[in-house]
């Protein structure tokens, strides 16, 4: 059974996972094409953040940013190295989708990188039913970014 905790940025394990996420994404993305949020950026009121745990082990985390009343963007999805390649990415996406539906979000979008480094993320989002779309919110056309979206059935 997985346990979800909302907004626990100050947990040392969560904090360390997010810092690793920021460092890796900034290193993998060219300047001007890095859209990762730091911890203060994740704490703004329009974002909800969750970490997922299996017993006392951190599996990973993810966030939902409200773009408008019914449109959200997933941010900072990260799987702990100990859980990579074991199907936990889908569990995190499924949890975020469930939370989005509870919050009456009907469309989820995401920006990810187009380079080889981001290939596992693109495969995961494709497996979860996300489809390519035009840039949304503040994003612009960028050869280093890929934009994806998914309509949610809130029944």
User: Tens digits of per-residue pLDDT, 8-25?
Assistant: 888 999 999 999 988 887
For the cut 80, the answer to whether the pLDDT of residue 1 exceeds it is no
pLDDT for the residue numbered 145: 94
For the cut 60, the answer to whether the pLDDT of residue 133 exceeds it is yes
Helix (H) or strand (E) holding 65, with range, is strand 57-66
Q: In what order do the strands lie in the sheet with 71-79?
A: 2-6, 47-54, 57-66, 71-79, 107-113, 145-151, 131-132
Cα–Cα nearest to 4, from 88, 67, 86, 85: 88
Asked if residues 70 and 104 have their Cβ atoms less than 8 Å apart, the reply is yes
pLDDT for the residue numbered 139: 95
pLDDT for the residue numbered 155: 56
pLDDT for the residue numbered 154: 64
Instruction: From residue 116, give the alpha-carbon distance in Å to each of 11, 23, 30, 120.
Output: 31, 17, 13, 8
For the cut 90, the answer to whether the pLDDT of residue 26 exceeds it is no
CATH number at 79 reads 3.40.630.30
User: Tens digits of per-residue pLDDT, 48-102?
Assistant: 999 999 999 999 999 999 999 999 999 999 999 999 999 999 999 999 999 999 9
pLDDT for the residue numbered 119: 94
Burial class (CB in 10 A: 0-12, 13-18, 19+), 17: buried
For the cut 80, the answer to whether the pLDDT of residue 30 exceeds it is no
- Domains identified in the chain, total number: 1
Range of the domain at 143: 2-151
pLDDT for the residue numbered 17: 94
pLDDT for the residue numbered 107: 98
Does the predicted model carry a pTM greater than 0.85?
Answer: yes
Percent of the chain's residues with pLDDT above 90:
80
Indicate the pLDDT class of residue 143, thresholds 50, 70 and 90. Answer: very high
């Amino acid at each position: 059974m997985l346990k979800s905790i909302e907004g626990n940025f100050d947990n040392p394990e969560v904090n360390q996972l997010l810092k690793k996420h920021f460092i890796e994404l900034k290193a993998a993305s060219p300047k001007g094409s890095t859209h990762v949020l730091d911890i203060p950026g994740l704490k703004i009121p329009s974002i909800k953040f969750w970490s997922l745990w299996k017993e006392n082990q951190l599996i990973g985390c993810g966030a939902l940013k409200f773009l408008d009343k019914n449109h959200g963007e997933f941010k900072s999805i990260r799987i702990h190295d100990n859980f990579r390649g074991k199907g936990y990415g889908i569990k995190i996406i499924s949890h975020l989708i469930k939370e989005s539906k509870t919050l009456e979000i009907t469309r989820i979008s995401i920006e990810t990188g187009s380079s080889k480094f981001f290939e596992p993320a693109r495969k995961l989002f494709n497996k979860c039913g996300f489809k390519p779309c035009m840039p949304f919110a503040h994003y612009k056309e960028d050869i280093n970014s890929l934009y994806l979206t998914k309509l949610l059935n809130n029944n």
